[in-house]
Amino acid sequence: MAYKVSKANNTSYKNVNSCFMKAYITLLLIIINCNLCYSQQLPNEPVKRETKAELYAPIYTLYYPTNQWELTTENVEFLYSYVIQKIKRPDAPKLIIYLEGHTDDEGNSDYNINLSKKRVQAVANYLKNNGIDVNQLIISFFGESIPETRKIAISEKLKDIRYANRRVTIRIEKVFE
């Protein structure tokens, strides 16, 4: 069966295509214009950025069982060996420790926010109790809103993905004054 396109319908298609092409060309011109403006502002020189901090150690991650926030023996040993010993070295520069709490997607958002807060607070309390200055700690908690994207979370198994998201990440940065 062949479909017959009336002259009126054909005209409306031309109008839609014409409007689409005008919008597309306008967008391209805006992009080209922005790129020209940007390249004129930065003439063949690398962008210089003021660096106020740099990563002092690898980013560490502590993992948790479902619905748990207490530090395990393994987590305590890890924190002492890799975080506290590194920070308390006599030659250590001024450091800031960023602690970020996360959860998997089980449970409601309010519960997960509170759980991630408890996890990160447990790590912060352990660090404070072992002589880390409170002013060196910056604490954030996100619940399930920032899922893990590294290798372990790419697994097809839901239990692996959830495990990778029940975590506290620890980022230690050297601060330049």
Question: Can you name the residues that pair with 60 across neighbouring β-strands?
Answer: 170
**Do 122 and 60 belong together in one domain?**
yes
**Do 42 and 62 belong together in one domain?**
no
Domain that holds residue 9: 1-48
**Do 78 and 165 belong together in one domain?**
yes
**Do 81 and 35 belong together in one domain?**
no
Nearest Cα residue to 40 out of 48, 30, 29, 32 = 32
**Do 94 and 147 belong together in one domain?**
yes
Among 12, 30, 48, the domain-final residue is 48
**Do 153 and 166 belong together in one domain?**
yes
**Do 108 and 35 belong together in one domain?**
no
For position 96, which CATH number holds?
3.30.1330.60
Output DSSP code: residue 12. Answer: H
- d(C-alpha 69, C-alpha 166), whole Å: 9
| Region for residue 131 given its phi and psi (left: phi exceeds 0; alpha: psi -120 to 50; beta: otherwise) | left
- Count of domains in the chain? 2
More confident residue, 99 or 14: 99
**Do 68 and 20 belong together in one domain?**
no
User: What are the tens digits of pLDDT across the range 122-150?
Assistant: 999 999 999 999 999 999 999 999 888 76
**Do 43 and 63 belong together in one domain?**
no
**Do 63 and 43 belong together in one domain?**
no
| pLDDT band at residue 155 using 50, 70 and 90 as cut-offs | low
| pLDDT band at residue 78 using 50, 70 and 90 as cut-offs | very high
**Do 108 and 37 belong together in one domain?**
no
Nearest 5°: the CA angle 130, 136, 139 is 95
**Do 93 and 143 belong together in one domain?**
yes
More confident residue, 58 or 72: 72
- d(C-alpha 142, C-alpha 173), whole Å: 20
**Residue range 89-94: average pLDDT?**
85
User: What are the tens digits of pLDDT across the range 26-53?
Assistant: 544 444 443 333 333 333 333 333 446 6
